[in-house]
Structure 1
Amino acid sequence: MSDNRLFTPDFKMQPYWWDAALPGIGAPDEIVKKVDVCIVGGGYAGLSCALELARNGTNCVVLDSKRIGQGASSRNGGLVSGGLKHAQTELIKDVGKDRATRLLKESAGTLPFLEDLITREKIDCDFAKVGRFSCAWTHRHYDALARSADFTEELTGLPVRMVPPGRQREEIGSDFYHGGQMAEGAATIHPAKYVGGLADSSKRAGAILLGQTHVTGMTRGPDGWRVETSRGTIRTDKVMLGTNGYTGQEAPWFRRRVIPVASFLIATEEIPPELARELVPHARGLADTRRVLSYFRLSPDHKRVLWGGRVGTTAIDPRESARRLRHVMTRVWPQLNDVRISHSWNGNVAFTFDFLPHLGEHKGVHYALGCQGSGVAMQTWMGYQTARMMLSRNSESAFAEGRFPTFPGYSGNPWVLPLILMWYRLRDQIERNWT
Structure 2
Amino acid sequence: MAGSSDCFSPGFKPAPYWWEASPQEPDRQTPLPSSADVVVIGAGYTGLHAALQTARAGLDTVVVDAEAAGFGCSTRNGGQISTSVKPSFSVLKRRYGEDLAVRTLKEGQASLDHVADFVTTEKLDCDFGVVGRFHGAHTSGQYDKLARDCEARHPGFETGAWMVSRDRQRTELGTDAYHGGMVLPRHASLDPGKYHAGLLRVARSAGANIVGFCQVNDLKRTPQGFEVSTSKGTMRAGKVIVATNGYTGPLTPWQQRRVIPIGSYVIATEEIPADTMNRLFPTDRILSDTRKLVYYYRPSPDRKRILFGGRVSLQETDPRKSGPKLLAELVRLFPELAEIRISHSWAGIVAFTFDTLMHCGEDNNLFYAMGYCGSGVGMAGYLGSRVGKVAARVDKDLGAFGDIPFQTRPFYSGKPWFLGPSVAVYRLRDRLGI
TM-score range, shorter chain: over 0.9
* Residues 105 and 157, structure 2, Cα contact 8 Å, conserved in 1: no
Shift of the 150–395 alpha-carbon distance from structure 1 to 2, 3 Å rule, reads farther
How far apart, CA to CA, are the structure 2 residues paired with 1:25 and 1:77? Answer: 23
Q: Structure 1: how far apart are the matches of 2:202 and 2:32?
A: 21
Q: Which secondary structure does the structure 2 equivalent of 1:5 belong to?
A: coil
Match of 1:292 in 2: 293
Equivalent position SS for 1:70: coil
Instruction: Write the distance in 2 (CA, Å) between the matches of 1:9 and 1:137.
Output: 34
Displacement after TM superposition at 1:202 (Å): 0.1
Tell me what 1:85 maps to. Answer: 86
Map 1:375-386 → 2, pairs under 5 A: 375-386=376-387
Deviation at 1:5, TM superposition (A): 3.5
C-alpha distance after superposition, 1:338-397 (max 9, x if no partner): 111101000000001111110111243100010000011101000011011112223251
Measured in 2, the distance between the counterparts of 1:313 and 1:152 equals 36
Deviation track 1:27-78 (CA, whole Å, cap 9, x = no partner) reads: 5342111110000011111000011111121110111111001100000000
CA drift at 1:314: 2.5
Aligned equivalent of 2:424: 422
**Match for 1:421: what amino acid?**
V
Provide the rounded CA distance (Å) in 2 between the counterparts of 1:305 and 1:153. 35
Q: Which residue of 1 aligns with 2:264?
A: 263
Does the 8 Å contact 1:294/1:308 carry over to 2? yes
Q: Which runs of 5+ in 1 are unaligned?
A: none
Q: Does 2:146 correspond to 1:145?
A: yes
1:278-427 correspondence runs (5 A): 278-392=279-393, 393-395=395-397, 397-427=399-429
Deviation at 1:428, TM superposition (A): 1.1
Contact 2:84 2:378 in 1 (8 A): no
- Whether the 8 Å contact between 2:387 and 2:398 is mirrored in structure 1 is no
Aligned to 1:183: 184
The one-letter code sitting in structure 1 at the alignment partner of 2:200 is A
Runs of 4+ in 1 over 3 A off after TM superposition: 1-5, 150-158
Identity of matched residues, %: 43
The equivalent residue for 2:173 is 172
* CA spacing shift, 1:142–1:155, aligned 2, 3 Å: farther
Write the letter of the residue equivalent to 1:231.
K
After TM superposition, the structure 1 stretch with the greater mean CA deviation from structure 2, 51-60 or 143-152, is 143-152
Give 1:87 deviation, angstroms. 2.4
Kindly state the Cα deviation for residue 153 of structure 1 after the two structures are TM-superposed.
8.3
The alignment partner of 2:344 has SS state of strand
1:206-255, Cα deviation, whole Å (9 max, x unpaired): 00001111011111111221001111101110000010000111111111
1:124-143 equivalence runs, <5 A: 124-143=125-144
**Residues 109 and 156 in structure 1, CA contact (< 8 A), matched pair in contact too:** no
- Structure 1 residues 151, 378: closer, same or farther in 2, change over 3 A? farther
| Paired position in structure 1 for 2:99 | 98
Give runs of aligned pairs for residues 203-282 of structure 1, distance below 5 A.
Answer: 203-282=204-283
Question: In 1, distance between residues paired with 2:336 and 2:251?
Answer: 48
- Inter-partner Cα distance in structure 1 for 2:270 and 2:151: 39
Deviations 1:120-179 (A, max 9, x none): 111111001100000011112111211222456855555311000110111110000010
Aligned to 2:20: 19
Residue in structure 2 matched with residue 31 of structure 1 by the alignment:
32
Q: Render the CA deviation track for 1:321-346: whole Å, top value 9, x for unaligned.
A: 01111111111011210111101000
Offset, 1:286: 0.2
**Deviation string, structure 1 residues 402-425 (Cα, Å, up to 9, x no partner):** 321111001111122122111100
Separation in structure 2 between the aligned mates of residue 24 and residue 14 of structure 1, nearest angstrom = 14
| 3-state SS of 2:411 partner | coil
SS of the residue corresponding to residue 249 of structure 1 reads: coil
Task: Classify the secondary structure of the residue corresponding to 2:251.
Answer: coil
Residues 1:76 and 2:69 are matched in the alignment: no
One-letter amino acid of the structure 1 residue matched with residue 425 of structure 2? W
Q: Is the 8 A contact 1:25 1:68 kept in 2?
A: no
Q: Mean alpha-carbon deviation: is it higher for 377-386 or for 90-99?
A: 90-99
Residues in 1 aligned to 2:250 and 2:199: alpha-carbon distance in whole angstroms: 27
Report the Cα distance in structure 2 between the residues aligned to 1:367 and 1:225, rounded to whole angstroms.
15
- In 2, distance between residues paired with 1:254 and 1:159? 36
Q: Supply the AA of the counterpart residue of 2:343.
A: S
- Contact 2:360/2:398 (8 A) holds in 1: no
- 176-185 or 89-98, which deviates more: 89-98
How many angstroms apart in 1 are the aligned matches of 2:315 and 2:88?
27
- Taking a change above 3 Å as real, the CA distance of residues 299 and 337 of structure 1, as seen in their structure-2 partners, is same
TM-score under structure 2 length normalisation:
0.97
How many angstroms apart in 2 are the aligned matches of 1:303 and 1:428? 30
Does the aligned pair in 2 maintain the 1:263–1:347 contact within 8 Å? yes
Q: Which moved more, 1:85-94 or 1:264-273?
A: 85-94
How far apart in 1 are the matches of 2:153 and 2:309?
A: 24
Which amino acid counterpart does residue 411 of structure 1 have in structure 2?
S
